[in-house]
Amino acid sequence: MEIRNFDAAMASQAAALLAGRHQTERALFPELPARFEKSEHAEKAIRGLLAKSPSVGVAAFRHEKMVGYMIAQTLNEPQRGRHAWIDYAGYALDLDASEELIRQLYCELGEQLVQLGYFSHFVLTPCGNPKAMDAWFRVCFAYEQVHGLLDLKNVQPLDSYDPSIRLAVKSDEAAVREMSNMIPSQVASAPSWGATLPEMLPDLNDGYAELLDEEDVRFWAAFEEDGTIASCIAAWPDEASEANMRIPERCSTVSCVATREGFRGKGLSSQLLSIVLNEAKQSGFEFFETDWRMANLPISNFLPRRGFKPYAYRLHRQIDARVLWANGSNSTK
């Protein structure tokens, strides 16, 4: 077997592998979009990756037939710094190949990334194949984020809702801005310990406030008597995409799920979720999707209990940058 650097001319061969992987995933998650079982649509997903940002990729060939590929985007931004991102369409194997090939491909790709100075590596991987998941764990990746789907077919409205619950409007902007810090605060607490840089918070506050201006966003909240928010949730339709393999047709996103500590256990989040799910169902949507930090205990317990089923995971590996000079060959003597 030979491993070569990936180039755009290999996209059609890679697409056949990705389409095969998607067929296998849809056997477990039939709500995923069926069109990506065809190579021509899978190729759009791969070319979408190549067009996003600078990328590094490798492909494995046996007797001139591609049997696996792996592509990473190289990124640099304030929150994560220099990092590499293997997206959902960023790797696939021939259906007859051993999942051990994942480890071999990452060995080649990861070495290139390390030599380029990218020590923080992420992969967004489907979770239907336990052997593939295990291969990532055996190159020292670990869980970080869960991506889940919920089928609205069996969703039923509650008999009654707390009278403090209503749609947030533009005059609630100050309360929404103030509430927007709740999720990063939860993620920063034990056992997540996920940092949000202070300089990122103004953009986050603005992002929440701008939701109130969007016609297709439904921002529901339970308000205290003084106008502050005790609990909130937002939902909006997912945009159609020719390259996104993860989002079903007629799907909405649920986001901004947060409850102040003193108001937890009162059923507010459950009622808010019931409202947005039933609104979406009545509007003709069939699925909801969202993602959450696995180590954020309140939300990682709440959403699966309400029916969200994991279909993909974001895994992370942080490499010790000192390996470039503390390589077993250099000595102080």
Query: pLDDT tens digits for 68-80?
Result: 999 999 999 988 9
Query: Amino acid letter at 183?
Result: I
pTM of the predicted protein model: 0.94
Q: What is the pLDDT of residue 239?
A: 86
CA distance 308 to 301: 10
pLDDT truncated to tens, each residue of the chain (333 aa)? 999 999 999 999 999 999 999 999 999 999 999 999 999 999 999 999 999 889 999 999 999 999 999 999 999 998 899 999 999 999 999 999 999 999 999 999 999 999 999 999 999 999 999 999 999 999 999 999 999 999 999 899 998 999 999 999 999 999 999 999 988 998 999 999 999 999 999 999 999 999 999 999 999 999 999 999 999 999 999 987 888 999 999 999 999 999 998 898 899 999 999 999 999 999 999 999 999 999 999 999 999 999 999 999 999 999 999 999 998 887 777
CA distance 226 to 192: 31
Q: Could you read off the pLDDT of 222-250 as tens digits, one per residue?
A: 999 999 999 999 999 998 788 899 999 99
Residue written as token pair 């801005």: 177
3-state secondary structure of 120: strand
Q: What is the pLDDT of residue 74?
A: 97
Q: What is the pLDDT of residue 52?
A: 85
Q: What is the pLDDT of residue 242?
A: 86
Which residues fall within 8 angstroms of residue 67, CB to CB, at 6 or more apart?
1, 17, 60, 61, 93, 94, 96, 97, 101
What value, to the nearest 5°, has the Cα angle with vertex 19 and ends 14 and 20? Answer: 100
Q: What is the pLDDT of residue 152?
A: 96
The tokens for 234 are 């937002």
The tokens for 132 are 């593939």
What value, to the nearest 5°, has the Cα angle with vertex 88 and ends 200 and 305? Answer: 75
CB 6 within 8 A of CB 71: yes
Residue 15's region, left for phi above 0, alpha for psi from -120 to 50, else beta, is alpha
